[in-house]
Structure 1
Amino acid sequence: MKLDKEKILAMSPNASAISNAKKICSNGSFVKLAHSSDDTFYMGECKGSGKSNYIVSADFIDEENPVIRCSCPSRQFPCKHGLALLFEIADEKTFEECEIPEDILAKREKKEKAKAKKEKESAEGTEKVKKAPSKTSKAARTKKINKQIEGLDLIKKITSQLLKVGLSTMGAVSLKEYKDIVKQLGDYYLPGPQILFQRLMLEVQEYKEDQDTKHYQQALECLKKLRAIEKKGREYLKEELEKENLEIGDNTLYEDLGGVWKLEQLNDLGLKKENARLIQLAFEVTYDEASKIFTDYGYWIDLDSGEISYTANYRPLSALKYIKQEDSNFSLLTVPTLTYYPGGVNKRIRWNNANFNDREDRSFKKIKTYAKNIDDAVKIAKNELKNILTDNAVALLIEFEKIMFIEEEGSKKYILVDKNQKMIELKNNGARELAKVFYELLPNECLENQVMFVKLFQEDRTIYAEAHSIITDDKIVRLGF
C-alpha cells in the first residue's frame, strides 16, 4: 500500500508522538510485520517497555479512515506504536502475508451493518425526529441569554465612560480598575467581548509606555468593536428570546459573543460541501496576548469554486503540551465532507478526514484563473471591511504584471502593479516589517506576470496588501513558512 507521510503527520495527536514513532522504526523495535493478501489489514508485533510485546494493527477497509489499534496502555490515539506501523508501511518495509483476525472481521461486519442501516433509512427518506428542547434546557438557555444581556449592559456602561473621559486619561490606577471589571464579564457568558476588552487594556498600557499612536489607534478599534457588539448583540439576543425554538442559527454574532460551534450543529444548518478539493496557499502561527492563545492558520483554496477559506487550530498557552501544533501542507486534499463556519468572504472550515494526493501542474494553473485585478480586489476588501466586527484582513488572489520598488528617505517600498497599471503597496500588517531584501530574495520567475496570495488590510484609510505566497504555473512559492 502507498501511504503518504503527510497523512500520517496529520493523524498524529502531537509532535512528540511522531518523534517517538520514528525512534521505534529506527531502533528496529518491530519483531514481526504482516499484512493481508488484499492489503486492507496490516499488523505488527512491537517491543515495548512491558514484559510482553505490543500487538498493533491498522485496518484499511475504509482506506481514507484507517482504524489503528494497539495493546499498549497509552491513551493517545493513534499511539506511537500505531504511527510507527504506518511509517513502516510508508517506507515499504517487508511484510509477510497473514489472515485477517476473526475479531477484526467481526468489527467490520458490525460497522457494515450500521452503515447499511443508515443508507436504507436515507433512501427511504427516514429522518430522525428532532426532539423539542426540554423545559429545563429551554429555561437554562433563556437564563443564559438574560445573563448575557446583563453583561452587555455592563459593556455599555464601561464603553460610555471610556468615550466620555478618553482613553489617554487612563492611568495605572484606572487601568487596574477596568481590568477588574473586565474579569466580571466571565460571569456573564461573554468570553468574546472579554478578550476584546483585555486587548484594549493591553493596547492602552503599551501606549502609556511608548506613546506610539499605533497602539492608541488599535485601542480605539477595540472600543468601536465593543460598541458594535453591545448594540448588535443586544438585538440578536432579544430576537433569540422571542423565538419559540431556541436552537442556534447561523448568525456570526453567536461566535462574536463567545459561543462555540459544534461540527454537528454546522452540518445540520447545511453549512457543508461534499467532496471538496483543497490546496493550501499559506500557513502561519500567531499569538494573541489578550487571550493567551497560539493559533495555527492554514489558508486554503477550493479548486472547484475558487473560494478561499481558512483553518484555525487554537492552542491555549495553558494547554500547549496537550494540543498538537498544525503544520504546513503540500498535498491536494480531497475532503468527503467540508464544514463551514458562518462568515463573510473568508470562512473558517473544518473536516474530520481527508485524502492526501500529489498536486499537479494543472492545479496551479487552475488556481491562477481565480485571481482578481487590483481594483476588483480592493473593492471586495472595502466592502468586507465595512463590517466593523470582521477581522481587519481579507484573503484574496491578485494577478500582477510586476513587482517594483521605490526608495523614500532611505527606505524601500514594494509596489504590486497589475496589467491595468493599477498599484497597491505591499506591507506587513502588524509589528513586523517587510524584509528590506524582499524583492532580491524572490526567484526570477516570480517577479513578473504571476499571481500573489495576499491579505488586504486597512491602515489610516489606505488599503495595503500583505504578501503570503506567489503562484506560478508549476508551484506555490511561500513567503512565510
Structure 2
Amino acid sequence: MTELTEAYVDSFALNAGAIKNGKDLVRKNSFQKLARTEDGTLLFGECKGSGKEPYSCSADFLKAEQPIFRCSCPSRQFPCKHILGLMHAYVDGKTFDIADIPSDIADKREKADKREEKKKETAAAPEGKESKRKVNKNALAKKLASQLEGIELAHKLIQQMVQAGLASLDMRSIRMYEDQAKQLGNHYVPGVQATLREVFVLINTSDNHEAIYTEAFEQLASLHALLKRSRDYIKARIEDPDLPMDITSNLEEKIGHAWQLSELRELELIRRDVELVQLNFRSYTDEARGEYVDEGHWLQLHDGEIVVTRNYRPFRAAKHIKEEDSVYMAVQTKELFTYPGDLNKRVRWEEMTMRELNDADRKNIRSFAERSSAAAVKAVKNHIKTPLADKNPVMLLHAAEVAKTENGCVLIDDQGGRLPLSNISRIGHPTLQLLPHLNHEQIKNTAVLVMFEDHLSEGKLTAQPLTLITENEMIRLYY
C-alpha cells in the first residue's frame, strides 16, 4: 500500500468541505470499528450515521495506483466523508485491529481480477482481431456539415460586430449578439461559442470600453483565425471522409471536441511510467464557458517538459465534481494521456501513486531551467505567432538573480540578459509584492517558473513569477 499521508488522503476529496467533515468524524470518535488486513492493503470500519445502523466503509489499496473506495451511506459525494475519515484515522495513528478481509470485499476483488484478466486477453489478441472504435460515416458527415454551418454563423456575427464598430456596443446590442450566439449550441462547436462569448464577457465586465479595445480586437483577431482554420479543416474532412482527425494541434479542442481517453489511447497519445511534480496551481472562473477551472502546471522529471492539467467543473454540477488542489508530492503514473497541442500540452491520468519530494528532485527540476532569457523570449514569440497557440505560455527559467529596478523587477540570467517581470492580466493575482519578503539566498541562483504575456499596446513581452525552486525548497508565490 502507498504510504498514507494527510496530503495524499486529501487529494481524493471532492472539496475542502469533505476534508473537514471527514476529519470531524475522527475528532468526534464516530468510528465504532477500525480494522485493517494483515498485509495493510485494506482499511475498513463502521461509522455512526443518522440511521440506526452504522455505515460500513472501506479503502482498498490492493492496486495502490488505483484505490477502490466503498461505503454504504447514501451520499452523492465520492469518496464520502466516512471514507475520508477512515483514512485520516489511519494517518492520525488511531488503533486499527488486524482482521480478515470481509467476504463481500473478497468477492468483489475476485470479480475485479476476472475483469482485469479479460482486459489483458483482449489487449493480447492477434493484430486485427481487436475491435477498434467504428466511425459512422453518415453521422460524421451530418455533424461536419452542421459544424460548417456554425462556423459560418459565427463568422457573420463577427462581421456584424466589426462593421458596427466596438464603440457602438451597448448592453442591448450585446444581448442581441449573445442570443444569436446561442444558436451555435446546435452546431457542435462549443469551443467556438465559448471563444465568442469571451468577447461579450470582456465588454460586459468593463466600465471603460476604450480601455479594453486592444484586448477585444486581439480576441476578435484570434477568433477570426480560428474560424478560418476551422472552415478549411472541416471542408477538407467533408471532401475526404477518411481524413483523420488533427492531432498535431489543439484545433479540434478549440472547435469544441472533448477528447475521450479511449480516443487518446487509440491514437497512442500516451506516455508510460511518468513522474511529475506540480510547480504551480490555481483555480479560476471561466464565465464564457460557464465553468470553474482547476489548472496545474507540472514538470515531467524524466525530460523537464512543462505540461498542464485542467479540471473543468460546470457551474450547475460543480458540487458533484472533484475539486482539484495544490499537490506538494511527486505523482507517479503508469499511463499519462497527452492531448494534442504544442507548448504546455494538456495531460491527464487515471491511476497514480505519490511520494515525498527530496533534494535530488529539486536538483533535477533546476537542471531543466532555460539559462538564457533571450532564448526563452524568442521561443515564446515564435509560439504566440501561431493563431491557435495559448497566449500565456509557462516556462522554467534560471535566474542568476531576481533584482529590483526603478521600473519594477527583472530576472537576470548568467549572461546579464534581463527579462522584465510584472503582474499579468491572465493571472489576475499579483505576486511581485511578495519578492521583497524573500531573503537574498532565495532570489539568487534559482529556477523561476513564469507565465508570459504579450502587451500589444506597449509592444513588449513580460512575465509573472509563479514559483521559485532553490536547492533547498520550492517557494510558490501563487497556489
Per the alignment, residue 256 of structure 1 pairs with 254
User: How many angstroms apart in 1 are the aligned matches of 2:432 and 2:446?
Assistant: 21
Per the alignment, residue 410 of structure 2 pairs with 415
- The structural deviation recorded for 1:70 is 1.9
User: How many angstroms apart in 1 are the aligned matches of 2:307 and 2:410?
Assistant: 26
Change (3 A) 1:153 1:7: same
User: How many angstroms apart in 1 are the aligned matches of 2:246 and 2:273?
Assistant: 25
Per the alignment, residue 479 of structure 1 pairs with 477
* Residue among 450, 454, 460 paired with 2:450: 454
Per the alignment, residue 176 of structure 1 pairs with 175
User: How many angstroms apart in 2 are the aligned matches of 1:20 and 1:204?
Assistant: 41
Change (3 A) 1:448 1:358: same
- The structural deviation recorded for 1:433 is 7.3
One-letter amino acid matched to 1:456: F
Tell me, yes or no, if the aligned pair for 1:249 and 1:269 is still in contact at 8 Å: no
User: How many angstroms apart in 1 are the aligned matches of 2:432 and 2:242?
Assistant: 57
Change (3 A) 1:36 1:173: closer
User: How many angstroms apart in 2 are the aligned matches of 1:62 and 1:392?
Assistant: 40
* Residue among 209, 212, 235 paired with 1:238: 235
- The structural deviation recorded for 1:181 is 2.0
Task: Give the RMSD, CA atoms, in angstroms.
Answer: 2.2
- TM-score with structure 1 setting the length: 0.92
Per the alignment, residue 381 of structure 2 pairs with 382
User: How many angstroms apart in 1 are the aligned matches of 2:257 and 2:205?
Assistant: 29
User: How many angstroms apart in 2 are the aligned matches of 1:435 and 1:237?
Assistant: 42
Change (3 A) 1:417 1:140: same
Tell me, yes or no, if the aligned pair for 1:427 and 1:433 is still in contact at 8 Å: no
Tell me, yes or no, if the aligned pair for 2:431 and 2:477 is still in contact at 8 Å: no
User: How many angstroms apart in 1 are the aligned matches of 2:174 and 2:111?
Assistant: 61
Per the alignment, residue 57 of structure 1 pairs with 58
Tell me, yes or no, if the aligned pair for 1:281 and 1:453 is still in contact at 8 Å: yes
Task: Report runs of 4+ in structure 1 exceeding 4 Å deviation.
Answer: 245-249, 431-436
* Residue among 307, 315, 336 paired with 1:317: 315
User: How many angstroms apart in 1 are the aligned matches of 2:171 and 2:81?
Assistant: 50
Per the alignment, residue 109 of structure 1 pairs with 110
One-letter amino acid matched to 1:471: I
Change (3 A) 1:420 1:119: same
User: How many angstroms apart in 1 are the aligned matches of 2:204 and 2:15?
Assistant: 36
Alignment partner of 1:35 is 2:36: yes
- Consecutive unaligned residues in structure 1, runs of 5 or more: none
Change (3 A) 1:387 1:53: same
User: How many angstroms apart in 2 are the aligned matches of 1:315 and 1:463?
Assistant: 32
User: How many angstroms apart in 2 are the aligned matches of 1:217 and 1:444?
Assistant: 39
Tell me, yes or no, if the aligned pair for 1:6 and 1:356 is still in contact at 8 Å: no
- Consecutive unaligned residues in structure 2, runs of 5 or more: none
One-letter amino acid matched to 1:243: D
Q: Deviations over 1:55-98 (max 9, x none)?
A: 22222221222222222222332222112111112222211221
Change (3 A) 1:439 1:58: closer
Per the alignment, residue 128 of structure 1 pairs with 130
One-letter amino acid matched to 1:241: I
- The structural deviation recorded for 1:267 is 1.8
1:172-321 alignment, distance < 5 Å: 172-205=171-204, 209-213=207-211, 215-245=212-242, 248-250=245-247, 251-321=249-319
Tell me, yes or no, if the aligned pair for 1:33 and 1:43 is still in contact at 8 Å: yes
* Partner SS, residue 39 of structure 2: coil
User: How many angstroms apart in 2 are the aligned matches of 1:401 and 1:14?
Assistant: 39
User: How many angstroms apart in 2 are the aligned matches of 1:436 and 1:398?
Assistant: 16
Per the alignment, residue 359 of structure 2 pairs with 361
- The structural deviation recorded for 1:382 is 0.9
- TM-score with structure 2 setting the length: 0.92
* Partner SS, residue 308 of structure 2: strand
1:315-354 alignment, distance < 5 Å: 315-354=313-352
User: How many angstroms apart in 1 are the aligned matches of 2:180 and 2:215?
Assistant: 20
